[in-house]
């Protein structure tokens, strides 16, 4: 999502928006999942940020809220919102649109459905005239009510009869902690006057709140049974072995999608190859191809190419814990101490001392750089393997340059990994939200300095690179957040209620604490974890629940939102994935009142009633759904079939005329015959898969079918 505001208003009065800072949040229904940085004092801020996330649950609306911050206000002020219903997202998909901001009214925030039954009875006198009317209203149920701050609400319903002389209102009973309340209550009203609209029947014209420009892309993958993807998946997995690599299916995909979506189409390829342990040979081959076309050693891996994008995606996937261990402590210190580091005379504020600011900046840079250069033992083995391969390729390509083996690696580890994470820590889950403008400026200065140091031949930098090339050891990662934890009932007395706790996991142990930094209240060794699974909402009438199954009673935890729930499950499943005693089945609900709520078994030790989720045995904090990744690859191929045909025609032309034709310059074709063979095979596989989609769609597209 990229966003821009225009003419935010109202701009008069004590809270003029031109005097305030603004930011934008993204919500699924009313559950906030992301927010932008704070933009300083402008009625037309340009946020220019992209957010990509999986949606792990059903939703009704994708909403964008604009808020204003002020040093004189305790709470952020809502300016306006844009709400797009799920069924309308396709209208705006992939295009930039201006949306008029609507007022944020608590009554307009209600979402969901209500099931009603209405009757109007006439009471007739003996002479046949109507004495009065009686309205019966039966409120049966509601469905899909929104979450409030990520939690189920306590809903009730009111029925109001409004007339010119009096109003009559009646209310149902309150239902606790549910999004789908069942009421089944009937109310009746005697009506001796005509029904009128609520209010005076006129609507006041709302203030012009400005507009929000958005580019939203929403895709739903219709994933078929795994067997249908076998041919395409095998073709992609064969890519590292194809000679030359430019004739492989994976490289062809990157080539034909470059104009439409850049190298975005390569992400599912990287994930698929990573899952099947085929990524390293593919990265080695595409890097070798790029080096063939690199003429100067000082420009090695500096551009945005197929090779650099694939390696960037790999580092983002497997390097999450590496960044957490290396940068999170020092970034937390920067955020908490909040020292001014501005050294640009034009941007200095009144009272700033440039020498003091320079000392602050130097201190931060030294801490960040030291943390990076001492982090070799935390680097994931796959990253080390790729860096060793890059060093060998660079030394072979430029044998006369002794420094190129270091610059080939530092261009990735410093410029494309650490410097980017310092600049935008929220995008790497190192911070929950954007920094404020002053800290953001500090991070920009630190990031630029790290880039400069990474470009020079500093001794400490080269020492780190040498260590990365020889030490394939993964140091323990750390992942921690505030959650709600249910008491485990380890004591005979005491309530089994939910309390706020600080949950922390490393490669060695899972622990929870009363507060961050306090002593642990309970420690569960990672080796004792037998499974990590989602928990049904019905267990405790709470959403975003998951359970950690270990040698004692299960640990029930509620995360802050649905995205955090998935992150916890991914991290905990990853660190415990090799435990020999992991379960094959689990109970998706809780043992309450002497029986399991899911299967009604009375014995607490009864084996689970549902198969456990499979965990990928890879050195990453992410489970990969290979069928879905292959479906995404199919989608990219399908939307670029015309480009694929042009590439096929170019190969045929080169084979006939034995030379590079003008229409071939848009593609990388080293061996036209081998590339032509791959494209023909791809065409057959894509046609077969499209036929399967068409046949499945014919069975399910009829109205009323699920």
Between CA 132 and CA 122 the distance in angstroms is 6
Number of CB atoms found within 10 A of residue 21's CB: 20
Quote the tokens at residue 308: 């650099």
DSSP 8-state code for residue 151: B
Between CA 88 and CA 342 the distance in angstroms is 45
Between CA 55 and CA 318 the distance in angstroms is 21
Ranges under pLDDT 50 in the chain:
11-15, 200-201, 459, 471-476, 490-495, 616-621, 699-706
Q: What pLDDT shows up at residue 703? A: 44
Residues contacting 675, CB < 8 A, separation 6+: 246, 247, 252, 647, 651, 669
Nearest to 473, CA basis, from 386, 379, 409, 389:
379
| Interval 139-175: pLDDT, tens | 999 987 877 666 778 889 999 887 666 678 899 999 9
For residue 275, give Cα distances in angstroms to 221, 270, 282, 591, 621: 19, 9, 13, 35, 12
Q: What pLDDT shows up at residue 704? A: 44
Between CA 672 and CA 654 the distance in angstroms is 6
Quote the tokens at residue 443: 């991070």
- pTM of the shown model: 0.64
- Helices (H), strands (E): how many in the chain? 17, 23
For residue 653, give Cα distances in angstroms to 253, 646, 664: 20, 10, 9
Between CA 465 and CA 418 the distance in angstroms is 13
User: What separation, in Å, do the N-terminal and C-terminal C-alpha atoms of the chain show?
Assistant: 30
Q: Could you tell me if 166 and 157 are in contact, meaning their C-beta atoms sit under 8 angstroms apart? A: no
- Phi-psi category of residue 218: left, alpha or beta, with phi > 0 → left and psi -120 to 50 → alpha: beta
For residue 364, give Cα distances in angstroms to 353, 355, 372, 439, 462: 17, 14, 12, 12, 21
The torsion angles phi and psi of 77, rounded to 5 degrees, stand at: -95, 120
Quote the tokens at residue 17: 């928006």
Q: What pLDDT shows up at residue 182? A: 93
Where b means 16+ CB within 10 Å and e means fewer, 679-697 reads beebeebbeebeeeeeeee
Residues contacting 390, CB < 8 A, separation 6+: 287, 301, 408, 409, 412
Residues contacting 250, CB < 8 A, separation 6+: 236, 239, 266, 269, 273, 282
Per-residue three-class SS string for 258-276: HHHHCCCCHHHHHHHHHHC
Helix, strand or coil, per DSSP, at residue 55: coil
Between CA 659 and CA 471 the distance in angstroms is 46
Nearest to 182, CA basis, from 217, 212, 155, 153:
155
Query: Domains of the chain, with CATH numbers?
Result: 3-100 (2.60.40.150), 113-191 (2.60.40.150), 221-293+625-699 (no CATH), 299-471 (1.10.506.10), 479-611 (2.30.29.30)
DSSP 8-state code for residue 486: E
Between CA 355 and CA 343 the distance in angstroms is 8
Residues contacting 656, CB < 8 A, separation 6+: none
Helix, strand or coil, per DSSP, at residue 618: coil
């Amino acid at each position: 999502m990229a966003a821009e505001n225009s003419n935010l208003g109202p701009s008069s009065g004590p809270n003029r928006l031109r005097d305030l800072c603004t930011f934008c949040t993204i919500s699924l229904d009313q559950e906030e999942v992301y927010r932008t940085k704070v933009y300083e004092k402008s009625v037309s801020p340009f946020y220019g940020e992209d957010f990509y996330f999986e949606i792990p649950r059903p939703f009704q609306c994708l909403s964008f809220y604009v808020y204003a911050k002020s040093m004189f206000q305790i709470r952020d002020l809502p300016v306006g919102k844009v709400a797009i219903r799920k069924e309308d997202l396709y209208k705006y998909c992939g295009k930039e649109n201006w949306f008029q901001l609507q007022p944020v009214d608590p009554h307009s925030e209600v979402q969901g459905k209500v099931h009603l039954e209405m009757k109007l009875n006439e009471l007739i006198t003996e002479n046949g005239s109507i004495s009065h009317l009686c309205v019966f209203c039966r409120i049966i149920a509601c469905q899909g009510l929104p979450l409030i701050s990520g939690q189920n609400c306590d809903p009730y319903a009111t029925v109001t009869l409004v007339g010119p002389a009096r109003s009559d209102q009646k209310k149902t009973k309150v239902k606790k902690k549910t999004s789908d309340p069942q009421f089944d209550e009937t109310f009746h009203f005697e009506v001796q006057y005509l029904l009128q609209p609520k209010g005076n029947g006129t609507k006041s014209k709302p203030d012009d709140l400005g507009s929000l420009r958005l580019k939203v892309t929403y895709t739903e993958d219709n994933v078929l049974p795994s067997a249908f993807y076998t041919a395409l998946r095998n073709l992609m997995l064969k890519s590292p072995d194809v000679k030359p690599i430019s004739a492989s299916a994976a490289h062809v995909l990157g080539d034909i999608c470059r104009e439409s979506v850049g190298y975005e189409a390569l992400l599912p390829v990287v994930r698929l190859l990573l899952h099947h342990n085929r990524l390293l040979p593919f990265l080695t081959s595409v890097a070798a191809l790029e080096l063939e076309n690199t003429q100067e050693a000082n420009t090695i891996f500096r551009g945005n190419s197929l090779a650099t994008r694939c390696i960037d995606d790999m580092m983002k996937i497997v390097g999450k814990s590496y960044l957490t261990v290396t940068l999170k402590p020092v970034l937390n210190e920067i955020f908490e101490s909040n020292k001014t580091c501005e050294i640009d005379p034009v941007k200095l504020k009144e009272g700033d001392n440039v020498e003091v600011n320079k000392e602050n900046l130097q201190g931060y840079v030294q801490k960040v750089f030291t943390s990076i250069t001492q982090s070799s033992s935390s680097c994931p083995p796959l990253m080390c393997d790729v860096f060793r391969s890059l060093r060998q390729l660079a030394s072979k390509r430029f044998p006369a340059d002794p420094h190129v083996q270091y610059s080939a690696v530092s261009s990735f580890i410093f410029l494309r990994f650490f410097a980017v994470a310092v600049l935008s820590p929220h995008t790497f889950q190192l911070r929950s939200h954007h920094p404020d403008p002053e800290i953001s400026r500090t991070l920009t200065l630190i990031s630029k300095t790290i880039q400069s140091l990474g470009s020079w031949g500093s001794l400490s930098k080269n020492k780190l690179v040498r260590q990365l090339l020889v030490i394939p050891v993964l140091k323990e990662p750390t992942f921690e957040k505030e959650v709600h934890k249910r008491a485990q009932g380890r004591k005979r007395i005491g309530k089994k209620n939910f309390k706020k706790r600080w949950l922390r996991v490393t490669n060695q142990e899972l622990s929870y604490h009363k507060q961050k930094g306090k002593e642990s209240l309970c420690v569960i060794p990672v080796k004792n974890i037998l499974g990590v699974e989602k928990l049904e909402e019905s267990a405790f009438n709470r959403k975003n629940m998951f359970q950690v199954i270990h040698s004692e009673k299960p640990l029930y935890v509620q995360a802050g939102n649905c995205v955090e729930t998935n992150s916890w499950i991914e991290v905990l499943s990853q660190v415990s994935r090799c435990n020999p005693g992991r379960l094959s089945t689990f109970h998706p609900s809780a043992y309450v009142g002497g029986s399991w709520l899911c299967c009604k078994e009375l014995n607490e030790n009864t084996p689970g009633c549902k198969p456990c989720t499979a965990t990928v045995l890879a050195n990453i904090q992410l489970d990969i759904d290979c069928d879905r990744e292959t479906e995404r690859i199919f989608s990219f191929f399908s939307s670029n079939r015309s480009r694929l045909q042009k590439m096929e025609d170019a190969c045929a032309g080169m084979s006939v005329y034995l030379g590079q034709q003008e229409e071939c310059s848009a593609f990388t074709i080293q061996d036209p015959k081998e590339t032509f063979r791959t494209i023909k095979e791809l065409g057959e596989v894509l046609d077969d898969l499209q036929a399967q989609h068409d046949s499945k769609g014919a069975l399910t597209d009829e109205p009323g079918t699920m």
